[in-house]
C-alpha cells in the first residue's frame, strides 16, 4: 500500500513536470514570505524608502515582506550577503547604486561587480547638493571658483563618500583650483563642519534640506542628471559644463540567476508599489524623488553610471 502510494506520487510529480513549462517549480511564486534586506541603518533615506514600500510590495505580491537590516559599508555588506543567497526571489535587497557602481571600482575587498546581481528595479533617489554656509561670500558656483582663482585660495570640502571626492577631482581638473578634501564619517559631520566654519563646503544627499530651508546654508550645485524637483534654482554640474554626475539611486536587487518569471513578477510588484501616494510621501518626508525603472533599464542605467565615473575613479586611484 505504502509502496503504491509512493509510486503514484512519483508518477504524479513526473506528470506535472512534463506538463508544465520550464521554470514551473516557481510557477506559484510567491508562496512564502519574501525577505528584504535593507543595506543601511534604520532611520536613513534608504531605510525609509524600504519601510514605506514594504507594505505596498506585500499587497502586490500577496505574501508578507520581512525587512531585515544589513547595514554597513554604504550598502556593500548587504550586497555581499545577498550575493550568496539563493536566487529564488525570496531574498531581495534594498540598496543604493553607489554600492554596485562605485564600491567595486574603488575597493579591492569587494568581491562583486554590478553584473553579479539581477537588479529588479530602481525606486527613488535623493535630492543632493553642494552646500556652503549662509554667510559665505559665495552665492553661486561661479562666485566660488572666481574667489578661489583670483585669490589663490584652496577650498576645503568635507567629504563623506567617494561621490563627492570624485566631484572634487572633476572640479579641480576643470577649473584648475585646489580643493582640500577633509574626510568625515557621516553626512551630519560635514554639515557640522560647514555650520561651524571649519570647512568651506560639504556635499550631501540628505540632512542639508532643513538647513537650507532655515536659511543656514546655501546650495550651489547638484550632481543630478536633472535639477532637484524641490530646489529648481540649483544648477547641475552638467549645466555648468563639467562632465561629472552621479545620483545614488535606491534600488531593489536580487542574487544573480533569478528565474525570468519571478523577476517579472517582482518588477511588476515594484511598479505597482510606487503609487502616487507613496511618491508624495517620499518627497514630503525625505525629499526623495520616486523613480521607477524596470530591470533592463536599471542595468543600463547602472552601466551608464559606471561609464561616467570611470575616468574620475582612475584619477582618484592614481593620486
Partner 1 sequence: MDTVLAGVSDAFTLINITYIAMGVFMGIMVGAIPGLNGPMAIAVAVPLTYYMSPLGSIAFLIGINKGGTYGGSVAAILLNTPGSPESTSTAFDGYPLVKKGKGLKALKMALYASITGDIFSDIVLFTVAAPLAIVALRMGPPEMAAVFAFSLTIIAGLSGKSILRGLLAAILGAYISCVGLDIETAQPRLTMGLSDLIEGVPIIPMTIGLLALSEILIQIETTLLGRQTDSGQYRVFGKDIPKEDRTVSWVEYKSCLRTIVRSALIGTGVGAIPGIGAIVAGFLGYGAAKRASKNPEEFGTGKLEGVAATEAANSAVVGANLIPLLALGIPGSLSAAILIGAFLMHGVDPGPLIFQEHGQLIYGIFAAMFMANWINFGIANLGLRLFAMVVSVPKGIIHPIVVVLCIAGAFANGNAMFSVAVMMVFAVLGYFMRKLDFSFATFIIGFALGGTFEQSVRQSVILFKDSPWTLLTHPIVMLFVALTIFAVWRILNGQMSVKKVVAVAPDSPSVSETKS
User: Angle, to 10 degrees, between the axis of helix 295-318 and the axis of helix 162-175?
Assistant: 60
How many of the other CB atoms lie within 10 Å of CB of 145? 18
- Residues in region 86-125 near partner 1 by CB under 8 A: 106-111
Instruction: Name residues whose C-beta falls within 8 Å of residue 171's C-beta, 6 or more positions apart in sequence.
Output: 145, 177, 179, 242
Does position 264 interact with partner 1 (CB under 8 A)? The reply is no
Show the cell assigned to 164: 563627492
Residues composing the chain: 319
Q: What angle do CA 240, 241, 243 make, to 5 degrees?
A: 120
Give kind and range of the element (H or E) at residue 122. strand 117-126
- Residues in region 244-263 near partner 1 by CB under 8 A: none
Q: Which is nearer to partner 1, 64 or 186 (CB)?
A: 186
Of 36, 65, 184, 247, which one interacts with partner 1 (CB under 8 A)? 184
Of 72, 116, 235, 311, which one interacts with partner 1 (CB under 8 A)? 72
Of 21, 43, 137, 152, which one interacts with partner 1 (CB under 8 A)? 43
Does position 154 interact with partner 1 (CB under 8 A)? The reply is yes
Does position 185 interact with partner 1 (CB under 8 A)? The reply is yes
Q: Which alpha helices (H) appear in 69-226, and where do they start and end? A: 76-83, 97-101, 103-106, 141-150, 162-175, 187-195, 208-213
User: How many chain residues touch partner 1 (CB under 8 A)?
Assistant: 55
Q: Which alpha helices (H) appear in 258-294, and where do they start and end? A: 260-273, 276-286
Q: Which is nearer to partner 1, 198 or 238 (CB)?
A: 198
Q: Which residues pair with 118 in a beta bridge?
A: 254
Of 71, 116, 235, 311, which one interacts with partner 1 (CB under 8 A)? 71
- Residues in region 162-181 near partner 1 by CB under 8 A: 162, 165, 180-181
Does position 62 interact with partner 1 (CB under 8 A)? The reply is no
Distance CA 221, CA 239 (A): 10
Distance CA 128, CA 197 (A): 21
Of 21, 137, 196, 276, which one interacts with partner 1 (CB under 8 A)? 196
Span from 21-29, 186-194, 248-256, 270-278 in contact with partner 1 (CB under 8 A) = 186-194
Q: Which is nearer to partner 1, 16 or 41 (CB)?
A: 41
Of 63, 140, 147, 192, which one interacts with partner 1 (CB under 8 A)? 192
Asked, as a colleague might, if the bond just before 59 is cis with ω within 30 of 0, I would say: no
Chain residues binding partner 1 by CB under 8 A are: 41-44, 47-48, 51, 67-73, 76-77, 80-81, 106-111, 154, 156, 162, 165, 180-186, 188-189, 191-193, 195-199, 207, 209-211, 213-214, 216, 284-286
Amino acid at each position: 500500500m505504502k509502496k503504491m502510494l509512493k509510486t503514484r506520487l512519483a508518477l504524479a510529480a513526473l506528470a506535472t513536470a512534463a506538463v508544465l513549462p520550464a521554470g514551473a517549480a516557481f510557477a506559484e511564486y510567491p508562496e512564502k514570505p519574501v525577505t528584504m534586506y535593507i543595506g543601511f541603518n534604520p532611520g536613513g533615506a534608504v531605510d525609509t524608502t524600504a519601510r514605506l514600500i514594504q507594505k505596498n510590495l506585500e499587497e502586490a505580491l500577496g505574501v508578507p515582506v520581512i525587512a531585515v537590516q544589513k547595514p554597513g559599508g554604504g550598502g556593500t555588506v548587504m550586497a555581499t550577503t545577498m550575493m550568496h543567497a539563493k536566487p529564488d526571489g525570496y531574498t531581495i535587497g534594498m540598496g543604493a547604486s553607489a554600492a554596485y557602481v562605485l564600491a567595486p571600482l574603488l575597493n579591492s575587498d569587494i568581491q562583486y561587480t554590478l553584473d553579479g546581481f539581477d537588479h529588479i528595479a530602481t525606486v527613488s533617489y535623493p535630492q543632493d547638493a553642494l552646500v556652503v554656509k549662509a554667510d559665505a561670500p559665495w552665492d553661486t558656483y561661479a562666485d566660488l571658483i572666481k574667489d578661489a582663482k583670483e585669490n589663490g585660495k584652496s577650498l576645503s570640502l568635507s567629504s563623506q563618500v567617494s561621490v563627492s571626492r570624485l566631484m572634487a577631482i572633476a572640479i579641480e581638473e576643470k577649473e584648475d583650483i585646489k580643493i582640500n578634501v577633509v574626510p568625515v564619517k557621516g553626512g551630519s559631520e560635514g554639515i557640522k563642519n560647514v555650520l561651524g566654519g571649519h570647512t568651506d563646503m560639504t556635499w550631501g544627499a540628505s540632512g542639508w534640506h532643513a538647513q537650507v530651508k532655515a536659511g543656514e546654508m546655501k546650495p550651489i550645485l547638484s550632481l543630478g542628471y536633472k535639477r532637484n524637483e524641490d530646489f529648481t534654482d540649483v544648477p547641475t554640474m552638467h549645466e555648468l559644463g563639467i562632465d561629472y554626475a552621479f545620483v545614488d539611486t535606491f534600488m531593489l536587487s536580487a542574487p544573480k540567476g533569478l528565474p525570468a518569471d519571478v523577476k517579472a513578477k517582482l518588477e511588476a510588484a515594484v511598479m505597482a508599489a510606487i503609487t502616487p501616494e507613496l511618491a508624495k510621501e517620499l518627497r514630503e518626508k525625505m525629499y526623495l524623488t520616486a523613480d521607477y525603472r524596470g530591470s533592463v533599464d536599471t542595468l543600463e542605467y547602472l552601466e551608464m553610471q559606471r561609464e561616467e565615473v570611470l575616468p574620475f575613479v582612475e584619477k582618484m586611484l592614481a593620486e
